[in-house]
């Protein structure tokens, strides 16, 4: 049986993953690298393969006062989400002047996907699930 996730669940997992990464790296979660990654991932979730111009439009568009009617409806598979988050982080890195995603970008992806399945996960749990290292080692990469 395929598990499906709603936009609201995905948005929460991405936001919480970005916040976790930012906190561990001692950065603001409102830094461009994070806000653009969030926008890119959510845009690519809806429109896989969307060009950067679509991401820019979404980034500068005002957030609707009310979410879409189907915001809580499970519509997306984990594979679709993984692709959107991975590609979104990569695209944001490229357009924020980094030639390729770095360790912090990779942690964002791992945290978001872990939090999708386990919304209560903390940094140590993300590290245990996704890395063969101690939390202190992963923290030093960020």
Domain positions in the chain are 4-58+74-141
User: In this predicted structure, what is the pLDDT of residue 67?
Assistant: 77
User: In this predicted structure, what is the pLDDT of residue 62?
Assistant: 74
Q: Specify whether the CB–CB gap between 108 and 18 falls below 8 A.
A: yes
38-80: per-residue pLDDT in tens? 999 999 999 999 999 999 999 998 776 677 888 899 999 999 9
Bridge partners (DSSP) of residue 4 are 77
d(CA 129, CA 95): 29
Closest CA to 133 of 113, 106, 98: 106
User: In this predicted structure, what is the pLDDT of residue 66?
Assistant: 76
Length of the chain: 142
Of the chain, the percentage scoring pLDDT greater than 90 comes to 86
Q: Going along the chain, which residue ranges are E strands? A: 4-5, 76-77
Average pLDDT of 19-44? 96
Tell me how crowded residue 124 is: count the other CB atoms within 10 A of its CB. 12
């Amino acid at each position: 049986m395929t598990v499906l996730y709603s936009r609201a669940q995905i948005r929460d997992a991405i936001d919480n993953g970005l916040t976790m990464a930012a906190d561990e790296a001692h950065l603001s979660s409102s830094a461009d690298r994070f806000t653009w990654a969030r926008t890119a991932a959510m845009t690519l979730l809806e429109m896989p393969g969307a060009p950067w111009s679509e991401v820019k439009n979404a980034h500068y568009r005002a957030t609707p006062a009310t979410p879409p009617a189907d915001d809580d409806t499970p519509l997306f598979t984990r594979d679709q989400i993984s692709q959107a988050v991975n590609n979104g982080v990569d695209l944001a890195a490229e357009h924020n002047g980094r030639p390729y995603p770095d360790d912090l970008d990779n942690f964002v992806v791992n945290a978001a996907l872990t939090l999708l399945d386990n919304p209560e996960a903390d940094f140590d749990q993300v590290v245990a699930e996704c890395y063969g290292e101690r939390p202190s080692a992963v923290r030093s990469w960020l």
